[in-house]
Each structure stands twice: as C-alpha cells, then as structure tokens.
C-alpha cells in the first residue's frame, strides 16, 4: 500500500467520522445548555457531577479495551493474521472490568449516594446503569474503529447523544420536570445506542488492502499481552480524566454545600471549551490510531510522520481560532448559552482555549506512541503531568478557584505535550525494520 493511499484513507475516515462526531458534540452541548436553563444551579451542578462520575469511570475502565481492539485489529489486518483470539481476550478483559465496577459500586453505595449525590437514589442508580451499559458500547467502538467502519462508529455515538438530549428537551418544553428526568437521559443513552451493536458486530467484512500473510511462527495474541497494553492505557485514562474532571470535583469538595455545587457547575461550563472540541477530536483520535498502527506494521515511515505533523498543524490552527473567538466574544457567548449569575472572565476563557490546543496535541502524540507500542512510556508521561496538575489545584493562596483551575489546566497540558513530544522524537517514529 502506498503512502498516498494510506493518508487518503485516513483523511476520508476522519472526514466521515467527523460528521457524526461533530453532530454528537453539538447535541451534547445542547443537552447541557437545556439542563442549565431548566434546573436550579445546585441541581444542574449535581447533573454535571453525575456526568463527570460516569465518564471518568467509563473512560478509565473501557477505553483501554477500545484502544486495544482498534490497534490490534488494524495491525492484524495489515499483517494478514487470522483468528479471533484477540476478540475473546478483549471481551474477557471488558467483562472483568465491568464486574469489578459492579462490586465496587454496590460496596460503596452509601458514600456515593449520600456524599457525592446528596442522598439521591436516582442519581446513584443512573451511575451504575450507565457505566455497565457502556461496556458493550466501548467494545463495539473499538471493533468498528479497528475495522475502519467509521460511518457505523459515528452513527453509534450520535444515537447515544440524541437519545440523551431527548430527556433534557422533555424537561425544557414542559413534558416532564425535575432533575431525575434529565439524569435518566445519561442512563438511557447507552442502552438505546446498543441497538446498533448486534447488527454492526455481525456484519463483518474483510479489511481492504491487507498486507502480506502472517507467518506460521507469528506469536498468538494472549490474555497477558492484551492485559499489559490495556493496563498501561487504563493508567493513561486515569490521568486524562484527571485533567478533564479534577477541577470541578475538587471545587465541589473544597467549597461544599449548594454554593460549592453551583461553583462546580460553573467550572464545568468553563472547561467545556476544552471538552467540547474533544468530541470532535474523537474523529481524529479514533481514525488515526488504526491508521498509524497500519503504517507502522508495514514500515511506512514517511506517511506516519506526515500524518502526525499534519494533525498537529491543524490542531494549532483550530486552537488559535478558538482563542481569538473567546477573546472577542467569549463572555457573551458563555452567558447566552448557559445563563446563571456567574461572570465569565475573558482572559480565563482564552487560557482554556490555548490549553485545549496543547491537550489535543498531546493526545495526537499519545496515539502515535500507542501505535508504535510505547504505551508504558506514554503512561509515565501522563501520570507525571496529571500529578503536577492536581498538586497545583491543591495549593493554597488562590482566592479565585476557577482561575486556579484554568492556569493549572494550561500548565499541565503544556507539561504533558512536552513530555510526549520528547518520547515521540526520540523513539516513536517507525522504521522499515
């Protein structure tokens, strides 16, 4: 396969998936906008905490298997390897992680329900049901990404986001009312999106342009091999969710009460400037890992490097554009979308925009490292940067807690990007060997 064809396939895959992911991001944004206008500040703050708890958990537990499947399927297709042991290994890991969560959630029912959700049984059970439903969803995502079936991938996540939005819309127009209905959307969404999973998994097709047939002595994909990669990615996911959610959670924990929940919701809104583009970036992140893995397996050094550099350049341009928009009309846009009594600082919004660019750049470099089998080295970089971010958030002396989160996010993203870039430049570029 030529480099031009490989890069063209990556571009087409990212473009197709971008349509579904962009619509998903806008739909998710609309869900929170409707919830913010329909609920009190304290109730909305608890919805954002529920969202953070669900997506911290599912990203940490299940995205490692998604990444494992995406990379492994792409690599095996490139090498012409047969068999389905990699699917069995991934399913075993996913079922085990779901079981661990179920046991832990039941054991911690009291603290989760009373301390995190203010005694709400509904929010607690939404958390449990949502996390268990996402196990199948993330397995399907990894399978579809590795097989480069990006249209189905986009359809799955769009169906999920649209289902969730319907619950917030029902409250906004008066068909239903209350925090519980908005929260139930978070649980219903992954269940409803599972309608596509059995059909998608049953309609397998051979990957186009497979590489040379596997040799007879090629090592079998084992549970030990899969678990090692998944464990490193799991640690990366812990660090990633620390960057995205530690700010609101620590604000809630340190401030306390209804005022703390409201301030946590405000902090969450500010960080949506960084989170919302991550929805769109999923299209790039999802398509680039199997693309780079395939190039690495085939020894395509120059296309590998060009794909990474082009993605980094596009991210830099996008971040600069967002920063300029925030500088010009950021506070007005945030107040219009989310309402409330908080004042959005223009400088803080620009900081988050720049941090978003650094973070997306780091995520791209991370995919390059995973594609080349450097999961453990990347894991160390993520853990160091996330620890530095949390330490900064815990420093005393900041009267403005939101500004502390903003500065900490930018600094942590800069450190992470620098560490991953050093690894990438040193030993992550594949060779023909």
CB 37 within 8 A of CB 172: yes
- C-alpha angle 170-37-179 in degrees, rounded to nearest 5: 55
In this structure, is the dihedral angle defined by the CA atoms of residues 348, 352, 353 and 355, taken in order, positive or negative? positive
Q: What is the model's pLDDT at position 433?
A: 35
Separation CA 238–CA 216 (nearest Å) = 38
Separation CA 210–CA 347 (nearest Å) = 50
Separation CA 189–CA 133 (nearest Å) = 9
Phi-psi domain of 377 (left: phi exceeds 0; alpha: psi -120 through 50; beta: other):
alpha
Mean of the pLDDT values across residues 66-87? Answer: 82
Q: Is the pLDDT of residue 200 over 70?
A: no
Separation CA 132–CA 161 (nearest Å) = 17
Q: What is the model's pLDDT at position 169?
A: 92
Residues 6+ apart with CB under 8 A from 84: none
CB 200 within 8 A of CB 156: yes
Mean of the pLDDT values across residues 11-25? Answer: 68
Average pLDDT over all residues of the chain:
81
More confident residue, 322 or 279: 322
pLDDT tens per residue across span 381-395: 999 999 999 999 888
Q: Is the pLDDT of residue 294 over 50?
A: yes
Residue 42 structure tokens: 């304290």
pLDDT tens per residue across span 357-414: 999 999 999 999 998 888 899 999 999 999 999 999 888 877 777 888 889 999 999 9
pLDDT tens per residue across span 37-63: 888 888 888 888 898 889 888 988 998
Q: Nearest to residue 306, comparing CAs of 316, 295, 298, 320?
A: 295
CB 389 within 8 A of CB 407: no
This prediction's pTM = 0.76
Q: Is the pLDDT of residue 136 over 70?
A: yes
Q: Nearest to residue 263, comparing CAs of 49, 76, 28?
A: 49
């Amino acid at each position: 396969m030529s480099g031009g064809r490989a890069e063209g396939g990556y571009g087409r895959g990212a473009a197709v998936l971008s349509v579904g992911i962009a619509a998903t991001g806008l739909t998710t944004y609309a869900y929170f906008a409707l919830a913010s206008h329909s609920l009190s500040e304290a109730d909305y703050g608890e919805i954002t905490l529920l969202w953070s708890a669900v997506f911290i958990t599912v990203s940490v537990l299940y995205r490692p298997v998604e990444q494992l499947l995406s990379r492994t399927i792409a690599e095996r297709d490139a090498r012409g390897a047969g068999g389905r042991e990699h699917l069995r290994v991934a399913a075993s890991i996913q079922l085990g992680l779901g079981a661990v969560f179920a046991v832990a959630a039941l054991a911690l029912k009291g603290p989760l329900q009373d301390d995190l959700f203010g005694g709400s049984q509904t929010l607690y059970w939404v958390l449990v049901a949502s996390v268990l439903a996402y196990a199948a969803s993330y397995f399907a995502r990894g399978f579809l990404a590795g097989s480069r079936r990006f249209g189905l991938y986009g359809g799955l996540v769009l169906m999920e986001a649209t289902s969730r939005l319907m619950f917030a819309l029902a409250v906004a127009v008066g068909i239903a009312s209350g925090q519980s209905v908005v929260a139930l959307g978070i649980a219903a969404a992954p269940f409803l999106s599972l309608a596509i999973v059995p059909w998608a998994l049953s309609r397998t097709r051979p990957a186009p342009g497979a590489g040379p047939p596997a040799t007879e002595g090629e090592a079998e994909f084992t549970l030990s091999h899969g678990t090692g990669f998944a464990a490193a990615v799991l640690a990366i996911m812990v660090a990633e969710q620390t960057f995205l959610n530690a700010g609101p959670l620590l604000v809630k924990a340190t401030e306390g009460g209804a005022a703390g929940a409201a301030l946590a919701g405000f902090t969450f809104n500010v960080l949506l400037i960084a989170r919302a583009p991550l929805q769109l970036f999923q299209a790039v992140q999802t398509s680039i890992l199997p693309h780079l893995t395939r190039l690495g397996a085939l020894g395509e050094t120059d296309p590998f490097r060009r794909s990474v550099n082009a993605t980094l350049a596009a991210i830099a341009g996008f971040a600069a554009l967002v920063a300029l928009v925030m500088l010009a009309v950021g506070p007005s846009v945030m107040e219009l979308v989310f309402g409330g009594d908080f004042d959005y600082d223009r400088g803080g919004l620009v900081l988050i925009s720049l941090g978003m660019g650094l973070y997306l750049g780091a995520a791209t470099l991370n995919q390059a490292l995973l594609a080349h089998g450097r999961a453990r080295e990347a894991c160390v970089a993520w853990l160091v940067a996330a620890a530095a971010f949390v330490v900064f958030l815990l420093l005393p002396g900041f009267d403005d807690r939101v500004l502390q989160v903003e500065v900490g996010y930018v600094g942590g993203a800069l450190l992470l990007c620098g560490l991953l870039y050093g690894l990438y430049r040193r030993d992550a570029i594949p060779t023909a060997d």
